[in-house]
């Protein structure tokens, strides 16, 4: 009768796991089993955070400055996307802190850290186009970060995959708006009230 193979031991005995956990309590969720270059991951996540913040600001600007016969429904879409991008920023900032990093909310250098640009055209159709371009940039960026992280940080990977899925929805939304809107948009010239708000 063949002998049963001995069961393989768990990664580490429980005493070792407990000892390591106590030794590095200040590192929070980052344990010795985290094999990625944490500095690189934090840099990529802070760039993603900057990208989301710039996207929030761009969508908000477009929401308030959109005008024209077709503007109301388009502006509502901009506002919805702004709120969702803010949720993404919050998720990323929280993950950065879990990895014992510091979320970078510094306004100085925000545009250079961001992968997307802050562009506010006057034409409503051009606003839609700029948002589609920015979403496509975000999609490519997130795919690259997900590929880098791989299965070595499944928590970050799952978070980014969820954000990526929503960015793909945003891109489809903007594509649909472009198709439906065509070239019928009117210039989105701010009123005097909006100008005053912009200066403030």
In the annotated binding site, the residues are 52, 88, 135, 167, 170
**48, two tokens:** 């993603």
Residues of the binding site for Fe cation: 52, 88, 135, 167, 170
> Cα 126–138–174 angle (5° rounding)?
35
CA–CA separation, 62 and 41 (whole Å): 31
For tokens 């708000």, the residue is 197
Q: Where are the alpha helices (DSSP H) in 66-184?
A: 71-98, 110-113, 124-149, 154-181
């Amino acid at each position: 009768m063949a002998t049963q193979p001995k069961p393989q031991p768990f990664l580490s005995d429980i005493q070792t796991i407990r000892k390591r956990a106590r030794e590095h309590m200040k590192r929070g969720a980052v344990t010795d089993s985290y094999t990625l270059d944490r500095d690189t991951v934090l840099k990529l996540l802070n760039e993603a955070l900057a990208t989301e913040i710039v996207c929030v600001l761009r969508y908000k600007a477009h929401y308030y400055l959109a005008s024209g016969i077709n503007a109301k429904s388009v502006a509502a879409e901009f506002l919805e996307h702004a709120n969702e991008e803010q949720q993404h920023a919050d998720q990323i900032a929280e993950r950065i802190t879990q990895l014992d990093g510091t979320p970078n909310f510094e306004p100085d250098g925000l545009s250079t850290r961001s992968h997307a640009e802050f562009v506010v055209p006057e034409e409503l159709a051009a606003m839609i186009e700029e948002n589609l371009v920015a979403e496509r940039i975000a999609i490519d960026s997130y795919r690259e970060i997900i590929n880098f992280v791989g299965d070595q940080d499944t928590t970050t990977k799952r978070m980014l995959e969820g954000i990526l899925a929503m960015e793909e929805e945003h891109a489809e939304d903007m594509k649909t708006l472009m198709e439906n809107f065509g070239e019928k948009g009117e210039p989105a010239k701010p009123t005097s009230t909006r100008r005053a708000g912009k200066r403030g």
